[in-house]
Structure formats: structure tokens, C-alpha cells
Amino acid sequence: MKRIGLCAAAVVLAFSSAAYSEDTTYRKHIKPLFEAKCVSCHGENAAPEYHAFKEDKNKWVSNGQGMRMDTYSHLVFYTAWPDTGALMRRLDDGKATGKQGNMYQYLGSTEEERQSNLNLFKGWIGNWTLKRWKDVTKEEMDGVKVKY
């Protein structure tokens, strides 16, 4: 009896760690979410690149368009380098800092949906740091996963 109990415990453990180790990836989780919530302003009709956006910021903003972010490479630019932490700062719910990012509102129409989508982004990024390149450490960057 004792043995069976132990085996059952081992099976439960194996299953739960498998569930935890399922990686959040761009292709599986982030791309569909981005297409549902962000692409209307950050898709191919947006400013082609961050620097082009900056050069003509007023024009793009008055059209309701941001900078292009609808590919994996574009999104990594706003996560890792050179615009380190930008995605995190804009999406953060402000619970830890008191300052909510201005893109948080687009994560969903209810608080529950926003939190659940924020958690998907957090899972994808790994280490949720709000720091910029000049302040972030090598160790903190090592924790940024952004799996394709």
C-alpha cells in the first residue's frame, strides 16, 4: 500500500513539473496575443522602425499609430536591446512601482483578462525587469528568455 502511495505521488510530481516547464514561446503564445491586442497600432501600417517613428512622432501619434513591433525581431528590440525593458515598462500593471505602463490598458477589456495576458508576457520574458540598458546588469539580462 505504502509503495502504491509513493508511486502515485511520483506521478503527480512528474505531471506538475511538466506543466510548469512548458515554455512560453513567441510563436505559440505571444504572436497570437500581439495580433489580437497590439497589431492594430504596431503592425505593418505603423511606423516601420522605432527611429522612423521618433523622427516623425507627432504624425504617427496623431494617426493613432506606434512603431512597428509585429515580428519576433522587432519585439526583442523593445525587450532586450537597445530599447531594454521598454515592453516591460509599458505593459507593467504598476502594482510594485505605483506607475502603470500606458500600454497595460490594451492587454484586455477586463482586469482579469489584462492580468492573465500580462502573466503570459511575464512568462515569455522571464526576468521582468523595468530597467534601461544603462542600469540593467548582465545577470538580469541573463534572465531574459524571449523564446522563439
The site for ligand HEC (CB under 6 A) is made up of 37-38, 40-42, 61, 64, 66, 78, 83, 86-87, 90-91, 102-103, 106-107
Of the pair 3, 95, the CB lying nearest ligand HEC is at 95
**For residues 125 and 146, is the Cβ–Cβ distance under 8 A?**
yes
Distance CA 132, CA 110 (A): 29
Nearest to 90 by CA among 55, 60, 50: 50
Of the pair 7, 92, the CB lying nearest ligand HEC is at 92
Nearest distance in Å: CB 142, ligand HEC: 22
Nearest distance in Å: CB 61, ligand HEC: 5
Of the pair 7, 113, the CB lying nearest ligand HEC is at 113
Residue with cell 500580462: 118
61 alpha-carbon distance from chain centroid: 22
